[in-house]
Homo-oligomer: A and B are copies of this chain.
Amino acid sequence: MIVVKIGGAQGVAMDNVCHDVAALVQQGQPVVVVHGGSAETNEISEKLGHPPRFVTNQSGFTSRYTDRTTLEIFAMVTNGRINTLVVERLQQAGVNAIGLSGLDGRLMLARRKDAIRIVENGRQRMLRDDYTGKIETVNGGLLHMLLDAGLTPVVSPLAMSPDGIALNVDADRAAAMLAGAVAAEQLVILTNVPGLMRSFPDESTLITHLPAAGLEQALSFAEGRMKKKVLGASEALGLGVSKVIFADGRVEHPLQDALAGKGTTIA
């Protein structure tokens, strides 16, 4: 089993990724696809007159502030636009894909972080009414039922609180939790950079192999959104996934190259 996370950032060659997924599925390799959607959500939020807002917590992690209006735009864009278009591309490539969010069949249950401590202009304050969550459980049984029926799940980064509220979740960490739940051997995270670099953006500092023990240190030099990918890798390995690969999603054969050892392999 392979879990593939497709970045929402500009530049990832969605058609190429879908062709590579199709080649794997047609070889009998079960695949679960997970995608993001931040970049497109920002664009459409702007057009709808509700521009995105980002906040930084004490540990320096930046995340989207998701009020209810933002949550509904995020759901619309990720679970409607991006998910449907990935399913369409996979169907065109001969893969019987099925789109899911974490609400469907209670696929991903999350704890709502309804009050988050943020740092703004150097001062701490609490931010409430946020619709963001941290995934706690994944319904692996549902994924296995679909995979056994010959379907390829395509998952958007929305989870559900235990009382049924939709929550925005980080797609990299969702991919890690899903990989753990289906006992995937490999988690491939495709993005718009060649992998983890010791000093971003100098590509000559690309790390090709990283032992799991090096992940904590990697957190200190990983840049921006790469921090969450490092956290995701750490979670996936902790859940029994043998190998996590960060690789370039902009090339002709993104998944094939990643599985052949390009990018950063963490094991």
Residues of A within 8 A of B (CB): 44, 47-49, 72, 75-81, 83-85, 87-88, 91-93, 96-101, 103-106, 142, 145, 149, 151, 158, 160, 163-166
Contacts and interface: CB of A to CB of B under 8 A. Distances in A.
Given A96-B105, A164-B91, A75 B85 contact: yes
A121 to B, nearest CB: 32
B88 A80 contact: no
A215 to B, nearest CB: 34
A132 to B, nearest CB: 15
Residue among A76, A83, A91, A96 with the most chain B CB within 10 A? A76
B88 A99 contact: no
12 contacts: A44-B48, A72-B81, A75-B84, A76-B76, A84-B101, A88-B103, A88-B164, A88-B166, A91-B103, A99-B103, A105-B149, A145-B149
Nearest to A48: B47
A92 B47 contact: no
A67 to B, nearest CB: 16
